[in-house]
Amino acid sequence: MEEINNILNKSIHLGKTIEISIKHILVLCVVLILANILLRLFQRFVTRKLNSENKLKFKSIFSYATWFSYVVIVLVTLSAVGVNVTGIFAASAALLIGIGLALQTLFQDIISGIFILIDQTVHVGDIIEIEDKVGRVEEIKLRTTRAVTIDNKVLIIPNHLYLTNSLYNWTQNGVTTRESITVGVAYGSDVALVKKLLLQAAENHKEVIKEPEPTVLFTNFGDSSLDFKLVFTLNNSFTAFNVRSDLRFEVDRLFREHNITIPFPQRDVHIFNKK
């Protein structure tokens, strides 16, 4: 028994002021195991009545809080068993400063992730645009947001970009969005027929919804054309690029059938011959 006590009391010196025994290490391990069990039970208790989305948000924030709790538990336990915690701080101060500077962006991402989860700026399933990139949000983590672009590429967005850039949430006000295409026709064209053909192109597309109805705006007398905008509504804005392309094809076909010209810029050049 005495031999076991001698082994447990055997000290390990970490620098001049830090001394820790095997017994202290065992106590610390037991405390961490108990803390892990209690934290898991607390997580289950809190999340048992939450829906899947809120449960995911809580787990993300709780995972960050768990690591912070472990650090506090380690320091409190070591201090309680007689280890010089001040010495640990002094020995690791320079290292912690270096790590803090190196991980500055990481901490920004984590804090931004917590803000996103709390204020619900972005939800899973939202279509967002940031730095001219558009994607559907698939997963929100503490450090990054994972989105899938329209061409099925994975977009990993560091969360701190939400604080430093303008974020466009296409679907925060609902799944329907107003989209538009513009077209110019030659001067002298039948504008009533142009409006009719533009509405026909929109009404015949299966993804353009009927309410609110598509509308045509006569936007300008341009330098080379009469300018129109076709405004329509979609249920799935993630397909807007394809729908706009389809409508341009259809408008071009209808205009050709009805002899409506889409002009291109022209300039008259006058040459004077001075003798």
DSSP state of 123: -
Q: According to the model, what pLDDT value does residue 214 have?
A: 93
Phi first, then psi: give them for residue 157, nearest 5 degrees: -110, 115
Please state whether the peptide bond connecting residue 214 to the residue before it is cis, i.e. omega within 30 degrees of 0.
no
Alpha carbon distance 30, 24 (integer Å): 10
Q: According to the model, what pLDDT value does residue 89 have?
A: 57
Neighbours of 41 (CB within 10 A): 10
Q: Strands 127-130, 154-158: parallel, antiparallel or unpaired by DSSP?
A: unpaired
Q: According to the model, what pLDDT value does residue 28 have?
A: 77
pTM (2 d.p.): 0.54
Instruction: Write out the chain's pLDDT in tens, 275 residues.
Output: 555 555 555 555 555 555 666 777 787 788 888 888 888 888 888 777 777 766 766 676 677 677 778 777 877 777 776 666 665 555 555 556 665 665 677 677 777 777 777 777 788 888 888 888 888 888 887 778 888 887 788 888 888 887 777 788 877 766 688 899 999 999 999 999 999 999 999 999 999 998 889 999 999 998 889 999 999 998 877 778 889 999 999 999 999 999 999 887 766 676 777 65
Alpha carbon distance 275, 267 (integer Å): 25
Neighbours of 214 (CB within 10 A): 22
Q: How far is CA 245 from the centre of its chain?
A: 26
Phi first, then psi: give them for residue 163, nearest 5 degrees: -90, -20
Cβ neighbours for 46, distance < 8 A, ≥ 6 positions apart: 58, 62
Domains in the chain with CATH codes: 2-102 (no CATH), 121-169 (2.30.30.60), 177-257 (3.30.70.100)
Q: According to the model, what pLDDT value does residue 161 have?
A: 83
Q: According to the model, what pLDDT value does residue 221 have?
A: 93
